Amino acid sequence: MTTLFRSGVLVLTYLPKSKYLHKIITEAAKCVNKTLYIDLLTTSRTQPIKERLASGVLNLSEYYDFITDVYTNASDLCSKIDVRVMLPPAGIGSFPRATQHPIELCIGNTSSIQNLMEFENVVSSRYVFHDGRFHLKYIHAADELKAKSESESEDKAEQNLDSIAKKLKSYQGVVIGGTFDKIHNGHKLLVGVAALFAEKKLTVGVADGPLLNGKVLAELIEPADTRIKSVECLIDDFKPGLDKKVVAITEPAGPSGTDDDLQLLVVSQETIKGGSYVNGIREDNNLLPLELHAIDLLADDKSDLAPTLQSETKMSSSAERIRDLGLIRREPNSPKRRRPYVIGLTGAIATGKSAVSRRLQRLGASAINCDLLGHQAYLPGKPAYQKLITEFGESILSEDETINRRALGSIVFSDKSKLKRLNEIVWPEIARMVEEKLVKMAEDDVKVCIMEAAVLLEAGWDQLVNEVWVTTVPVDECVKRIIDRNGFSEDQARVRIESQMNVKDRIKKSHVVISTLWEPEFTQKIVEKAWGGLMKRIELAKRNTSFL
């Protein structure tokens, strides 16, 4: 059985033609299960490796084609692997080269290496290995050094055409911008190209605040600090020694409109119009305009998403956030009870909690509806009944001696301290009834229980469950649903939403997130994915194995 390393570096002694490069990357990716760095020592193949490295000559056009080729095809060649292309460092003293994901394995392709001893001497001291030891593995992927069918004249002709077509140059200061959520190959291409062009400084504006409004599943976008750190790590991996400035921005131009040490703005074909806007800002600030360089958008197969999302073909963070729906986000809790396995299902009003609960029940789960238990907690004879009368007076009673919830509501919803006192009385009683039901379910050998509760987190009931699942849709969609379902005005709907826990606070405590925004069939796919993952975790739990 082949041992897989978490991360490795594929060392290319020269630049192979594209079709051979793809074969080599595919073979190298089989050696790792997390991160594959690719280090192109030089683009030339005519000199010994050490001489080529000592020359320090960087062919921008060839490197540009190389990183574009890698990131354009990485999803097809090795979709589960984080591929990162290393560029020549910006400063001296960058060797041995450290990486964000410590390198465990150095990978060489025997068909590409003319002198194995020279190769091993060069690479053994080129990287920082995670355990301080040099690990080397050779793969065998044929390339043009061994393929006789390729014409050298054709190679030269292609190289000449490329050099004529691209007259690329480097710049002291380069700037880019974006959301940079869920780092994907499109981000790597943008950062990689910008780093390639940057001789000294790379500035990055990371969208935040109002710039995130309207983004799909904006509530799932990582915090700005997290995204900034991800970009900084990419830059350090790609081109150590660069002076980097990565900052959050809340208006479109950011530092590109104000910094006087920038010369080039790298954009995508989609955002190229933004370059004119930025230069307009710079003109207002008496700064020289930036040169613009546009990279192509990377394509993404979205056939796994909802039909309404499939018309857009570009690679995007939005698609990655949608793909993460239904997946486990962090380790489950470990309540004292062994069975049943409890899912706490919560979410804001009109986000589809009950609909998701019904779907899970059809897949085999049992359910407890805490809202219904709440009604029972008010009944005569229940522990909370007399406490409520003592606390709020007999004016809350109806003629039949039951508690008039509307009368009680008029008292507590106008006074937060009284609402807090009501919750202190009722919530523990609901929790007690939940525990009784869970004990009965365990006796009946129920394996999975869905505990549906709008106030699961506010009441602290997440301590009773193994996992918290949160349903979410955009606020405007919630408003529309409340108006249609409850007959509220828009203002009433928004007041109801704003009175509840913030969606981001819910998601911070969640283990699984489900959105009911799209077609019912797609919601079903998300629920089935979540259920399938749950079944695997329960099976793993029997063996005391990590869930992630």
Closest by Cα among 187, 202, 197 to 166:
197
pLDDT tens figures, 99-122:
999 999 999 988 777 778 888 888
Query: Do 210 and 158 fall within a single domain?
Result: no
Higher pLDDT: 58 or 382? It is 382
Give 372-437 as a 3 state SS string.
HHHHHHCCCCCHHHHHHHHHHCHHHECCCCCECHHHHHHHHCCCHHHHHHHHHHHHHHHHHHHHHH
Q: What percent of the chain has pLDDT over 90?
A: 68
Query: Do 141 and 270 fall within a single domain?
Result: no
- Tell me how far CA of residue 101 lies from CA of 10, 98, 227, 386, 512, in angstroms: 14, 9, 17, 61, 27
DSSP state of 296: P
Which range is least confidently modeled, 209-213, 230-234, 294-298, 445-449? Answer: 294-298
**330: pLDDT strictly greater than 90:** yes
Q: Mean pLDDT across the stretch 368-377? A: 92
Q: Mean pLDDT across the stretch 29-41? A: 94
- Identify the pLDDT of residue 76: 93
Q: Quickly state the pLDDT bin for 237 (edges 50, 70, 90).
A: very high
Would residue 314 count as lying in a domain? Answer: no
- Tell me how far CA of residue 429 lies from CA of 143, 156, 392, 512, 539, in angstroms: 71, 81, 17, 27, 33
Q: Mean pLDDT across the stretch 480-492? A: 93
182 dihedral zone (left: phi>0; alpha: psi -120 to 50; beta):
left
- Identify the pLDDT of residue 252: 94
Strands 5-12, 105-109: pairing kind:
parallel
Mean pLDDT of the chain: 89
Query: Do 66 and 138 fall within a single domain?
Result: yes
- Tell me how far CA of residue 354 lies from CA of 219, 240, 364, 370, in angstroms: 21, 51, 15, 11
- Identify the pLDDT of residue 161: 41
- Identify the pLDDT of residue 42: 76
- Identify the pLDDT of residue 299: 84
Would residue 319 count as lying in a domain? Answer: no
Query: Do 86 and 185 fall within a single domain?
Result: no
- Tell me how far CA of residue 197 lies from CA of 59, 173, 257, 470, in angstroms: 11, 9, 19, 43
- Identify the pLDDT of residue 131: 82
* CB proximity list for 200: less than 8 A, separation 6 or greater: 90, 172, 173, 242, 243
Of 165, 188, 221, the position where a domain reaches its end is 165
pLDDT tens figures, 240-296:
999 999 999 999 999 999 999 999 999 998 888 899 999 999 999 999 999 999 998
Which range is least confidently modeled, 17-21, 102-106, 108-112, 145-149? Answer: 145-149
Question: Which amino acid would we find at residue 345?
Answer: L
Query: Do 141 and 70 fall within a single domain?
Result: yes
Q: Quickly state the pLDDT bin for 75 (edges 50, 70, 90).
A: very high
Would residue 149 count as lying in a domain? Answer: yes
Q: Mean pLDDT across the stretch 404-431? A: 88
Would residue 301 count as lying in a domain? Answer: no
Q: Work out how many domains the chain is built from and give that number.
A: 3
Would residue 434 count as lying in a domain? Answer: yes
Sign of the dihedral through C-alpha 139, 68, 144, 56: negative
135 dihedral zone (left: phi>0; alpha: psi -120 to 50; beta):
beta
Q: Report the distance separating Cα 457 and Cα 318, nearest Å.
A: 27
Range of the domain at 179: 171-295
Query: Do 159 and 177 fall within a single domain?
Result: no
- Identify the pLDDT of residue 166: 59
- Identify the pLDDT of residue 94: 75
Q: Which of 307-321, 329-343, 451-465, 534-548 has the largest mean confidence? A: 451-465
Return the structure tokens found at 357: 């609960």
- Identify the pLDDT of residue 125: 86
Query: Do 466 and 352 fall within a single domain?
Result: yes
Query: Do 275 and 383 fall within a single domain?
Result: no
* CB proximity list for 395: less than 8 A, separation 6 or greater: 407
Of 127, 146, 165, the position where a domain reaches its end is 165
Q: What percent of the chain has pLDDT over 70?
A: 90
Q: Report the distance separating Cα 343 and Cα 324, nearest Å.
A: 18
Return the structure tokens found at 172: 């002291």
**51: pLDDT strictly greater than 70:** no
Q: Helix crossing, 353-362 with 520-541: angle to 10°?
A: 60
DSSP state of 311: T
Query: Any idea what the CATH number is for the domain that residue 139 is in?
Result: 3.40.50
Query: Do 153 and 14 fall within a single domain?
Result: yes
- Identify the pLDDT of residue 46: 57
Q: Mean pLDDT across the stretch 502-511? A: 95
- Identify the pLDDT of residue 153: 43
Q: Residue 484, Cα to own-chain centre: how many angstroms?
A: 33
pLDDT tens figures, 358-370:
999 999 999 999 9
Q: Record the pTM.
A: 0.87
Would residue 264 count as lying in a domain? Answer: yes
Closest by Cα among 115, 59, 82, 117 to 10:
82
DSSP state of 325: T
Q: Is 37 exposed, middle or buried (0-12, 13-18, 19+ CB in 10 A)?
A: buried
Of 142, 165, 188, the position where a domain reaches its end is 165
* CB proximity list for 454: less than 8 A, separation 6 or greater: 346, 347, 348, 349, 353, 370, 371, 500
Would residue 157 count as lying in a domain? Answer: yes
DSSP state of 170: -
Query: Any idea what the CATH number is for the domain that residue 199 is in?
Result: 3.40.50.620
- Identify the pLDDT of residue 70: 96
Higher pLDDT: 2 or 31? It is 31
Q: Mean pLDDT across the stretch 335-343? A: 83
Query: Any idea what the CATH number is for the domain that residue 464 is in?
Result: 3.40.50.300
Query: Do 274 and 332 fall within a single domain?
Result: no
Q: Residue 447, Cα to own-chain centre: how many angstroms?
A: 31
**154: pLDDT strictly greater than 50:** no
Query: Do 181 and 126 fall within a single domain?
Result: no
Q: Mean pLDDT across the stretch 118-135? A: 86
pLDDT tens figures, 432-458:
999 999 999 999 999 999 999 999 999
Higher pLDDT: 399 or 293? It is 293
Q: Quickly state the pLDDT bin for 54 (edges 50, 70, 90).
A: low
Q: Report the distance separating Cα 239 and Cα 197, nearest Å.
A: 11
Q: Report the distance separating Cα 438 and Cα 366, nearest Å.
A: 10
- Identify the pLDDT of residue 505: 95
Please give the sequence-ordered ranges of beta strands (E in DSSP) within 179-334, or none if there are none.
Answer: 198-207, 243-249, 264-268, 291-295
The SS3 of residue 38 is: strand
Q: Quickly state the pLDDT bin for 517 (edges 50, 70, 90).
A: very high
- Identify the pLDDT of residue 484: 96
Would residue 547 count as lying in a domain? Answer: no
- Tell me how far CA of residue 18 lies from CA of 113, 143, 155, 517, in angstroms: 17, 10, 12, 41
Contact (Cβ atoms closer than 8 angstroms) between residue 49 and residue 118: yes
Q: Quickly state the pLDDT bin for 148 (edges 50, 70, 90).
A: very low
Q: Report the distance separating Cα 319 and Cα 113, nearest Å.
A: 40
Query: Do 150 and 60 fall within a single domain?
Result: yes
